[in-house]
Structure 1
Amino acid sequence: MLRGQLPATDVLVVGAGLAGLRTATALARRGHDVVLADRRTRLDAGVRTTGIFVRRTLEDFDLPERHLGPPIRRMVLYPPSHRRPVTLDSPRDEYRVGDIAALYRTGAQEAADAGVRLLLGTRYTGRSDGRHVLDGPDGPVEIRARFVIGADGARSAVARELGLDRNSELLVGAEEVYPSPTRDVVPAFHCVVDPRLAPGYLAWVLDDGEHTHVGVAGYPARYPHGLRHALRDFAANAPGLDGTRRPDAVERRAGPIPVGGLLRRISCPDGLLVGDASGAVSPLTAGGLDPCLRQAEQAVDVLDEALQTGDRSALTRYDGATLRARFRGRLALRRGLSLVRTPAVATVAFTALRNPLGRAAAQRILFGHGSFPDPKPSPAGHAVRTATGTAADTAR
C-alpha cells in the first residue's frame, strides 16, 4: 500500500517534551523549516516528570513565572528508620516545581508561533527508502527530512533507527500528585534512603505549599512486589506529610529514568539525540530538566551550522563521549548508590551525613551549581552565526 507523503522539511523532531519543544522552536526561529511529531494527542496529558527546576536553570532560563511553584530552600534526608533526619537549609532558592502540563501547552504555542508544524497523535516508526515513516491519525505517511532529532525519551526509537547508543541503565519511578492540604507549610523536599522502597535511588515527598508530590524510584528488577506496591506502602507512612489526609482523586505519574550517564554516540550525519534519549540526566540525582534545556542549545548550534553550510560533519562536535568525561564523579556515586541493597547498609552509609564533611558533601551535590557542561562554540559555528546575523534565542 502506497503511503501518503508530507512536504519535505529541514528537521524532523520526534518527541514534544521540554527538549523537543525547545529545540524545534529555536531552529524555527533561526529560519529553518521544522516538523515536530509526538505520539500524544494532547501534550498536557501523560506527564511523567515531577518537574523540578534547580537554581541554575531558574537563573539562566526565562521560564514563565506563572507556571512555577513557590521556591524551596530546605532538603530533609532520612535513613530507613525515618529517625534523626539531616536537614539542609540553603540561603538561596534552590528548587521550584514547574507545572509541566502548562509548560508543554505554552511551549507548543510558542513552537507554532515560530512556524513549527506540530503533528500530534503521530508515532515515529522508522525509516524507509531514505524517508522517515510516521503513523498518524489518518494512517502511515512518509516525510523526507535533512536531519532527524530524537527527543523521544529513554527508549528512543530514533536512536535505534540511526544506529546511535541507547540507554541501558534505567530506573523506574512513580508518584502521586495532589493539592497541598495546607498553605502554611515550609516548602521542603523530603528524601528517604531505603532500598526496600527505592532500590538504588530514593523515595520522596515534595511539598511546596501548592502541591504535594509523593514518589518512589529504583531499579525495576529489585522490587519484590512491584513499583506500585512500594509507592502505596511509602505513601501510607511517608515523612513530611505530618498526618495529612491524601485526597481520593490524585494525579498519577510513572516512567523510566535513564541513569547510566550521557551516552557516548549521540549524533551521526543524519541526526542527533537530546534529553532522556541521549541519557542527559544526572546519574546521581536523576535531575533531567536542566540538562535537557542546556543540551538543546548545543543541538541547535550544531544543526544550525550544518543546515546553513551543508556540512554534515558539524554534527561531530555534538559528541557524547567527550561530554561524558565531565560526569565521572557522579557516575562513581551512582555505582555506590546502586550497591546499597539492605536497610542496614543504608543506615551505616547515612551516618556519614551527620558529620561536617558529610553535610558539606551533601550540600555541594544537592545545592551545587554544576550541571550539563557548556562547551565553547567552535570557530566555524561562531562564524556562521555572525555572518547570518542570527543569535541564540533561548535566554541564559
Structure 2
Amino acid sequence: MRADVLVVGAGLAGLWTATELARRGHDVVLADRRTRLDATVRTTGIFVRRTLEDFDLPPEHLGPPIRRMVLYPPSHRNPVTLDSAHDEFRVGDMAPLYLELATRAAAAGVRLELGTRYLGRQDGAHLLHGPGGPVEVRATFVVGADGARSAVARELGLDRNRELLVGAEEVFAVPHRPAAVPAFHCVLDPRLAPGYLAWVLDDGRHAHVGVAGYADRYPHGLRDALRRFAASAPGLAGLPRPEAVERRAGPIPVGGLLRRIAGPHGLLVGDAAGAVSPLTAGGLDPCLRLSAHAADVLDRALRTGDRRELAAYDGAALRARFRGRLTMRRGLSLVRTPAVAAAGVAALRTTPGRAAARRILFGHGSFPEPRTAGAPQLRLARYP
C-alpha cells in the first residue's frame, strides 16, 4: 500500500490531521488499533472557550456551557468560586464526536484502517497488522498520533514523554435540575491527587468524577483514590449515582511540549508530542492547534518535495513559551501535605490570587499560536 502520509492513531489529533491533509488533496491512511472509535474513550473531553471559538466542532456533541469554577482545599470548606462572563467550557460527548470526525475524514478521502496495529519501520516501509494480517505501507511521511507512549516517536528517534500523571474518572448521567448551575469543581488534595487535582464536572447532563496524580504516590492505587473521592466529592450532594457508570483511565503527559517532535520522515501530534498544558493538563486545545500546524507543515513538504520543510515544526521554539506553566507544574508537584494544599487555596482567596486563577482558568493562553518564518499563519478548519 502506498500513501503520502500514514497517520497512526485515530483520536482527536489523528483525525484532525488526517482530514486536513486529505482535504488539501493528499493521499492519507489513518490506522488505529481499536475496532470501534467509540470504544475506549480516555479523555474527559473538556473544550475551552478558545477552542470553541476557533474550531468547527459539531455542537450536537457538546454539552451545556459552563461558566463557574469552584476550587476547594482538602477539607472542602471555604472554597474559592470563580464566575466568568463567558461560556468557558463545554464537555464533548467524545464517543459520537469521534464517529462524526471519522465520517468527515472518510468524506475527505482518508482511508481508515481500524483494528490495525503499528509495528514499526523496516526497509523504508511502515509495518502494520490488521484484521487480514500484515500490511506494508510505503508513505512519504508518518504522523505519530498514538498517545503519550508513542511507538512512532520511538521508531523515528524523536523525543518521548517522561513526566506522566495517571488519571481515572467515572461518568454518569444526572437528572435535570432547573435551579442547578453547571460547574467545574476542583479539589487540591495530595492524598487523592498527588501533584494534580481531583475534580467533579457537572454540566447538568453528565457528571465526571475523577482523580489524577503521579503513579508512584498512590500507596493503594489510583482506583482506591477514586473510590474514596467519589464517596464525598463536592457538588454531588443529593444526586443519584447509578450502579453502571462509564469508566475512563489513562496516562497524561505533563512535562510540556517535547523539543524534538519532527524529523525527515515524520512528526508527532497530540499527546505523543506532549501537547498538553503542563499545569492544567488540558490537552484538547493544544491537540487541535498543533494538529493544524502539522497539516500546514506537511502540506508544504509534500507540495515542494522538500523534507527540510519539517524543520519548521519546532517543538523547542514552542516549548520556550511554556516557561511559566512549567514552573508552576514543578510547584504543584511539590505539594505533598494537606496543610500546604490548604495554604495554596487560601492564597487564591486574595485579590492577586483570584486574578491569577482567572488568568489561568479563563484565559486564552493554553497553547501558543504556531508560526514559522515565511509560512502562512495557522489556518483553522471550517467544514460545511
Q: TM-score, normalised by structure 1?
A: 0.95
Match of 1:54 in 2: 48
Which amino acid counterpart does residue 268 of structure 2 have in structure 1? L
Q: Secondary structure at the match of 1:146?
A: strand
Q: Which residue does the alignment assign to 2:288?
A: 293
- 1:180–1:211 CA contact under 8 A, matched in 2: yes
* Count of residues in correspondence between the two structures: 382
1:13 aligns with 2:7: yes
Superposed counterparts of 1:162-241, under 5 Å: 162-184=156-178, 185-241=180-236
For residues 109 and 375 of structure 1, the distance between their equivalents in structure 2, rounded to whole angstroms, comes to 27
Residue matched to 1:4: none
Residues in 1 aligned to 2:165 and 2:135: alpha-carbon distance in whole angstroms:
34
Amino acid at match of 1:15: G
2:382 corresponds to: 395
Partner Cα separation in structure 2 for residue 109 and residue 61 of structure 1: 17
- The question of whether the paired residues in 1 share the 8 Å contact of 2:22 and 2:28 is answered with yes
Rounded Cα–Cα distance in structure 2 between residues aligned with 1:295 and 1:180: 34
Residues in 2 aligned to 1:117 and 1:267: alpha-carbon distance in whole angstroms: 23
Which residue in 1 is equivalent to 2:331? Answer: 336
Aligned partner of 1:206: which letter?
Answer: L
1:189 and 1:56 map into 2 onto residues whose CA distance is: 17
| Aligned ranges 1:240-279 → 2 under 5 Å | 240-279=235-274
Distance in 2 (CA, whole Å) between partners of 1:213 and 1:242 is: 14
Percent identity for Structure 1 against Structure 2: 76
SS in structure 2 opposite 1:144? strand
- Residues 80 and 345 in structure 2, CA contact (< 8 A), matched pair in contact too: no
Q: d(CA) in 2 for partners of 1:343 and 1:377?
A: 45
1:136-172 deviation digits (Å, cap 9, x = unpaired) = 1122221100000000000000000000000000000
* 1:3 match: none
Q: Which residue of 2 aligns with 1:388?
A: none
Quick one: which of 303, 310, 318 aligns to 1:308?
A: 303
Aligned Cα RMSD in Å? 1.3
Shift in Å at residue 392 of structure 1? 4.4
Q: Hey, which bits of structure 1, 4+ residues long, moved more than 6 A? A: none
Does the aligned pair in 2 maintain the 1:192–1:203 contact within 8 Å?
A: yes
> CA separation in 1, counterparts of 2:370 and 2:233?
41
CA deviations on 1:164-202 (whole Å, 9 max, x unpaired) are 000000000000000013333210000000000000000
The C-alpha deviation readout for 1:273-301, integer Å capped at 9, x for no partner, is 00000000000000000011011111011
**What is the identity, as a one-letter code, of the residue corresponding to 1:94?**
E
Residue 103 of structure 1: how far off its partner (Å): 1.0
> Which residue of 1 is the match for residue 349 of structure 2?
354
Aligned to 1:70: 64
Equivalent residue number for residue 107 of structure 1: 101
TM-score normalised by L of structure 2? 0.98
Q: CA deviation at 1:83?
A: 0.5
Deviation, 1:26, is 0.5
The answer to whether residue 23 in structure 2 is matched with residue 29 in structure 1 is yes
Q: Contact 1:173 / 1:216 at 8 angstroms: preserved in 2?
A: yes
Q: Would you say 1:39 and 2:33 are equivalent positions? A: yes
C-alpha distance in 1 between matches for 2:142 and 2:248: 28
The Cα shift of 1:393 comes to 6.3
Report the 3-state secondary structure (helix = DSSP H, G, I; strand = E; otherwise coil) of the residue aligned with 1:292.
Answer: helix
Secondary structure of 1:42 counterpart: coil
Distance in 2, matches of 1:39 and 1:376, equals: 33
CA distance in 1, matches of 2:379, 2:209: 37
Q: Secondary structure at the match of 2:271?
A: helix
Q: CA deviation at 1:378?
A: 3.5
CA contact (8 A) 1:174 1:255 kept: yes
C-alpha contact (below 8 Å) 1:183/1:210 kept by paired residues: no
Q: Which amino acid aligns with 2:316?
A: A
Is residue 51–residue 98 contact of structure 1 (8 Å, CA) maintained in 2?
Answer: yes
Distance in 2 (alpha carbons) for counterparts of 1:101 and 1:272: 26
Supply the distance in 2 between the matched residues of 1:226 and 1:151 (Cα, whole angstroms): 28
- Spell out, residue by residue over 1:30-81, the C-alpha distance to the aligned partner (whole angstroms, 9 max, x if none): 0000000000000000000000000000111111110110000000000000
Separation in structure 1 between the aligned mates of residue 370 and residue 283 of structure 2, nearest angstrom: 18
Residue 117 of structure 2 corresponds to residue 123 of structure 1: yes
Q: How far is the alpha carbon of 1:376 from its aligned partner?
A: 3.0
Q: Deviations over 1:79-102 (max 9, x none)?
A: 000000010000110000011111
Report the alpha carbon displacement of residue 357 of structure 1 after superposing the two structures with TM: 0.6
